[in-house]
């Protein structure tokens, strides 16, 4: 007999997780608690309640986590200018620790013995969910049905529904899109189908959030983003909450053909995977943040941040949000943002985000020193001679010892 009496399931209301509800009930003879998170995926989440009830679920959690998601996860990540493998803005990765956190909170509230998720055994999400869960509750049992059952396709899932009288209407109808999609306020991703051929160009109607750059307006859109301690807080002078800020930038970016990405990435489990992403608001935020940092951050602090960023991004991609090393890096990053305040002006035009201005009361840009005109003695150009000679000293010594680069 199973020692699992109650399981909290991350539940979308779709076919996979509806089958998982019944599979958990049948296999573990346990009570299932469902948790559905609204993190801005653009779909109504309340219907998940009726679907869960139809499957006999008594405890149903449906939480609006949009503000927490952007404020406590997306914004801290963007302070680091995090990009994985030079391209990916980590839209799926950064949502997983929040879901893992809420799963554990609900497990504690309901006295559940285990949590469960619908991630497959081939992907990164199983790692992210479970590393997060174990970090927060070391003794929690994790049930990953895709690693246990013999249901290997949509057809076998549908057959399971028929055998156990799971209404197909509740289990989720066939998607209009041929691709596996994941969406939240930061991005929408597309995988599978024709995209499994990395040479295949995705069809135009695949994209949901953006027009093509060719179809974008011929007139540029100008915006101003105000920053405080490294976070965007105003848009065109209007104060916006984190979730509203990102949603608004998504609309502006999408309307101007911004944020599309087609890449092959290295999954943590070892395989390469081709995916397409739309991250319009995030693309704008990244460009704007680097612009305001360019005038407010000290050179060496900025360069150190850039050196640390790939490690930070990899930690998020691989699921180590709650690790001590990520928290250490975050503390350093957040410290660097104390004077990252000001306004960035941007031009959005046919897929491009162009920085056209930046200003800050904390700017380190000194016009008196940087000018090409008469600087009235603010900078003594003769000082450069000694600076250059001292920095060349080791090179000159090596050359004098026969290590010249000339053949």
88 among the known binding-site residues? yes
Going 48 to 49 to 55 to 61, the CA torsion angle's sign is positive
10 among the known binding-site residues? yes
332 among the known binding-site residues? no
205 among the known binding-site residues? no
Options 16, 38, 113, 231, the catalytic residue: 16
54 among the known binding-site residues? no
Options 22, 66, 79, 96, the catalytic residue: 96
Do 79 and 107 meet the contact criterion of CB atoms below 8 Å apart? no
336 among the known binding-site residues? no
37 among the known binding-site residues? yes
Whole-angstrom CA distances from 36 to 228, 267, 380 are 32, 26, 64
14 among the known binding-site residues? yes
Strand order in the sheet with 260-266: 180-183, 188-191, 272-278, 260-266
Options 71, 72, 180, 375, the catalytic residue: 180
Options 79, 125, 274, 336, the catalytic residue: 125
Long-range Cβ contact pairs of 152-161 (< 8 A, separation 24 or more): 154/15, 157/15, 157/16, 157/19, 158/15, 160/19, 160/22, 160/23, 161/15, 161/18, 161/19
86 among the known binding-site residues? no
361 among the known binding-site residues? no
120 among the known binding-site residues? yes
- 403 catalytic? Reply is no
Q: Where are the alpha helices (DSSP H) in 58-177?
A: 66-69, 75-79, 96-110, 125-136, 154-163, 168-171
12 among the known binding-site residues? yes
- 125 catalytic? Reply is yes
124 among the known binding-site residues? yes
Q: How far apart are CA 350 and CA 219, in angstroms?
A: 9
118 among the known binding-site residues? yes
- 180 catalytic? Reply is yes
- 16 catalytic? Reply is yes
List the binding residues for L-citrulline.
88, 93, 124, 128, 180, 189, 265, 277
Binding residues for ATP: 10-18, 37, 118
Task: State the catalytic residues.
Answer: 16, 96, 125, 180
What residues are designated binding site for L-aspartate? Answer: 120, 124-125
Residue list for the binding site: 10-18, 37, 88, 93, 118, 120, 124-125, 128, 180, 189, 265, 277
């Amino acid at each position: 007999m199973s020692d699992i009496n109650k399981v909290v399931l991350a539940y979308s209301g779709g076919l996979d997780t509806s089958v998982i509800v019944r599979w958990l009930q049948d296999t573990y003879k346990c009570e299932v608690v469902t948790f559905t998170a609204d993190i801005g995926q653009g779909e109504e989440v309340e219907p998940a309640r009726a679907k869960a009830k139809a499957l006999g679920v008594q405890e149903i959690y449906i939480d609006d986590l949009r503000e927490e998601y952007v404020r406590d996860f997306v914004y801290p990540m963007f302070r680091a200018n995090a990009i994985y493998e030079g391209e990916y803005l980590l839209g799926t990765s950064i949502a997983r620790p929040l879901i893992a956190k809420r799963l554990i909170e609900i497990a504690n509230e309901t006295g559940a013995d285990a949590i469960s998720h619908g991630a497959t055994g081939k992907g990164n999400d199983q790692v992210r969910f479970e590393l997060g869960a174990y970090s927060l509750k070391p003794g929690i049992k994790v049930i990953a049905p895709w690693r246990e059952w013999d249901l290997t396709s949509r057809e076998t899932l549908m057959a399971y529904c028929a055998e156990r009288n799971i209404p197909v209407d509740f289990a989720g109808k066939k998607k209009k899109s041929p691709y596996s999609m994941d969406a939240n306020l930061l991005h929408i991703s597309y995988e599978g189908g024709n995209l499994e051929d990395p040479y295949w160009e995705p069809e135009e109607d695949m994209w949901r959030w953006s027009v093509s750059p060719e179809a974008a307006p011929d007139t540029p859109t100008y915006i101003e983003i105000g920053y405080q301690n490294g976070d965007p807080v105003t848009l065109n002078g209007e104060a916006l909450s984190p979730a509203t800020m990102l949603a608004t930038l998504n609309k502006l970016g999408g309307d101007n053909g911004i944020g599309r990405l087609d890449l092959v990435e290295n999954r943590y489990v070892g395989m390469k995977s081709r995916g397409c992403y739309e991250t319009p608001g995030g693309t704008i935020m990244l460009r704007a943040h680097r612009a305001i940092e360019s005038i407010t951050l000290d050179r060496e602090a900025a360069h150190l941040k850039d050196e640390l960023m790939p490690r930070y991004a990899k930690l998020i991609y691989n699921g180590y949000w709650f690790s001590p090393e990520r928290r250490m890096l975050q503390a350093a990053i957040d410290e660097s943002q104390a004077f990252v305040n000001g306004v960035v002006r941007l031009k959005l035009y046919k897929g491009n985000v162009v920085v056209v201005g930046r200003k800050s009361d904390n700017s380190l840009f000194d016009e008196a020193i940087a000018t090409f005109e008469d600087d009235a003695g603010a900078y003594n150009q003769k000082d450069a001679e000694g600076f250059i000679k001292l920095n060349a000293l080791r090179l000159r010594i090596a050359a004098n010892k026969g290590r010249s680069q000339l053949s």
